[in-house]
Amino acid sequence: MRSSTLAKRIAALTLTKKAQDLVIMDLRALSAVTDFFVICSAESDVQVKAIADAVDEGLERYGAKPWHRETGSLQWILLDYVDVVLHVFHKQTRQFYSLEKLWGDAKIQRIDDHAPSRPRRTARLTHRARKALSARVATS
C-alpha cells in the first residue's frame, strides 16, 4: 500500500471514533524518517485509546501492523507504520507539543471532522396518493 493511501486510510479510521482537528502532514520533502504524520485530537484519555485501537484493528484487516506503538500515558499514543506515523493527542497535550509548528514547512491537509451530511430524500408519492391529493385540492 502506498504511503499516501495508508495516511488517508488511517485518517478515515480515526474519524470512526470522532477524532478532532485531523491533519495529514506530508513530510516526504523534509524527512527521510517517515513520509506522513497523521495527527488528531481527542476529548478524553478514553477517546485517545479508542482512536488508536480503532486504527490498529482497522489496519490489521489489511495485514498492516504497527512497527512501534508508544503509550507513555493516555495523553498521547503514537502508532508507527514506518512510512506513516499516527499521533493521537489529548487536546491539551497536542497544544503543548505543537507538531504542526515544529514541522511548519510540511504540506498540511486538514480533514473535515464532521460527518458528511446526507442529501435529503424527497418523498415520492404513489400514483394512488397523487390522485387522492389532486382530488382534495380540486374540491377545496
Residue 118 pLDDT class (50, 70, 90 cuts): very low
pTM score, whole prediction: 0.76
Distances (CA, A) of 48 to 19, 86, 89, 139: 8, 12, 6, 63
Q: Which residue range(s) make up the domain with 60? A: 3-115
The structural domain count of the chain equals 1
pLDDT in tens, 56-72: 999 998 888 889 998 87
**Is residue 139 one of the residues assigned to a domain?**
no
State the CATH number of the domain containing residue 45.
3.30.460.10
**Is residue 134 one of the residues assigned to a domain?**
no
**Is residue 47 one of the residues assigned to a domain?**
yes
**Is residue 74 one of the residues assigned to a domain?**
yes
**Does residue 127 have a pLDDT over 80?**
no
Per-residue pLDDT, 105? 82
